[in-house]
Amino acid sequence: MKATAWADDGVLMAVEDPARPAWGVQFHPESVCTAYGRELMTNFLAQSPQTEARPVIELAAREATVPSLTVFAERLDMEIEPAQAYERLLGDSRRAFWLDSSLPSHPLGAMSVIGDCAGKWGRTVTANVAAGTVTVDSETVHSGFFDWLEGDLASLRIDASNAPFGLGWVGYLGYELKAECGGSAAHCSELPDAMMMMFADRAVVFDHRTSEVFALVLEETYDAAGPALAELRAALRDGPAPAEFSPCVRAQPRHDRERYLELVAECQESIRQGESYEICLTNRIDCAGSIDPLPAYLALREASPAPFASFLRFDEMAVLSSSPERFLSISSAGAAESRPIKGTRPRGETPLADAALRDDLGINVNVKDRAENLMIVDLVRNDLGRSAVIGSVQVPQLFSVETYATVHQLVSVVKAQLRDDVSPVACVRAAFPGGSMTGAPKIRTMRIIDALEAGPRGIYSGAIGYFSPTGAVDLSIAIRTLVVTPDRAHFGTGGAVVALSDPAAEYQETVDKTAAIRAVLSLP
């Protein structure tokens, strides 16, 4: 091999093999911040042997295995807040959801949806990665979850052209579902460790831009939908007052501060050895005590409103999330968007201190946070590029600071257009788990994480949202999320470790990120 390029500090950056068309580079020519990356790749392709194009794989034709259904929408002439609507309509429901844009002032806080699967078309699905099974209501089949979901959505014929929301599968994808996406089945969650979703066939939608409220029902005909629409109207007009929330829990972290600092050091050693560039290390805090999920969620959304907040209820389990981060959205026309977050500062105690903390995330100020965000942006570009029309992957927003109730965050935006031969489910599968919760390179880094973290992540750092038969998808990253079961609860927290990380600062960041949950639970 022949050395051909060096960095200013003498580090070798490029080599070539004089005997054949083979080159290697230490940096990333494809990075959104690399100068002359396009020219380098153009030169490489010009000197590389041409290969035959891969054949396009056509999607399976949709099969009419269920009747043709329509989402019937009715505008409601009433003034009601989403919290009131949930309490009145679904407060006693054992399986229900609330996709809650609890920060309407945010550009992405345009719509909130509450609903359930109590109608005749409703179903519930769970998946078990270790067993390789999917259970729909009481019927279990041997299948990977993504394969099953792809087939189910392809079989549905639903017209939602006159509705503000397409209904469909609503719930969560747990982190351990990574075993279907190139990762390893290293840990098993005590909860459904792949995902749990309900097929929503009725909902109430709040358009925060126009202040309109709509009732939605999935049915074959309007006559069949009429009684369900009337039932929704009646239930929304009166209901019980919300219960008070009085937390009484005791918390125990999976890794105490001393152990977490050791794990950060182990991450940095893996980075020095060239095993990874960035490792998203996480911790889990288990709480013993009884928590009433709905009052707790109402307290959380007040303490930490977020554009991708959510409340899910599955029998004895509830998921309470105040996530500010979009994992992936896909429109029915195939327009995809991800909004990775990397870089966090707490809010300051005074306006002056708050402004200084916000400025410290600026693009020309903090090199570490900029590097964290850049590596994940490039990872997401690669993930979406596997599903996108060539040349359509764009980064319209890079290193922007967004401010929330308890933290400042460094946010970037990656957009792409899906190819015609790629389904929304296939795009999600290619991008899951979100790179902001793994690090880069993704597959190798997930294996490092498996060895360092002493248990499953479960719902935390997976995704929460919906898949509609219309082709629309919107999923948040499951962060700032509390999972409640009888007499117990837990939440996750973490941060990206890079070569420049300070272990003590990394631990403090995990505390800052969970300030709202800790406050709601009265934890120190």
Looking at residue 57, what is its pLDDT? 36
Q: What is the DSSP letter of 436?
A: G
Q: Would you call 325 a catalytic residue per the annotation?
A: yes
Question: Which pLDDT score is estimated for 331?
Answer: 97
Q: What is the pLDDT of residues 56-85, one digit of tens each?
A: 434 333 344 456 899 999 999 999 999 999
Question: Tell me, what's the pLDDT at 243?
Answer: 66
Please report the pLDDT score of residue 297 as a whole number. 96
Element (H, E) at 163: none
The whole-number pLDDT of residue 39 equals 78
Higher pLDDT, 404 or 365: 404
> What integer pLDDT is reported at residue 55 of this predicted model?
42
Pairing of strands 407-417, 139-142: unpaired
Q: Tens digit of pLDDT for each residue in 120-176?
A: 899 999 999 888 999 999 899 999 999 999 999 999 989 999 999 999 999 999 999
Task: Please say if 266 is a catalytic residue.
Answer: no
- Which residue is listed with tokens 């209904």? 167
Marked catalytic residue, from 176, 180, 219, 325? 325
Choose, from 74, 176, 342, 442, the residue flagged as catalytic.
Answer: 342
58-67 — which CB contacts under 8 Å span 24+ positions? Answer: 58/421, 59/154, 59/421, 59/423, 60/151, 60/154, 62/154, 62/155, 62/156, 62/157, 63/154, 63/155, 64/155, 64/157, 65/155, 66/155, 66/156, 66/157, 67/157, 67/220
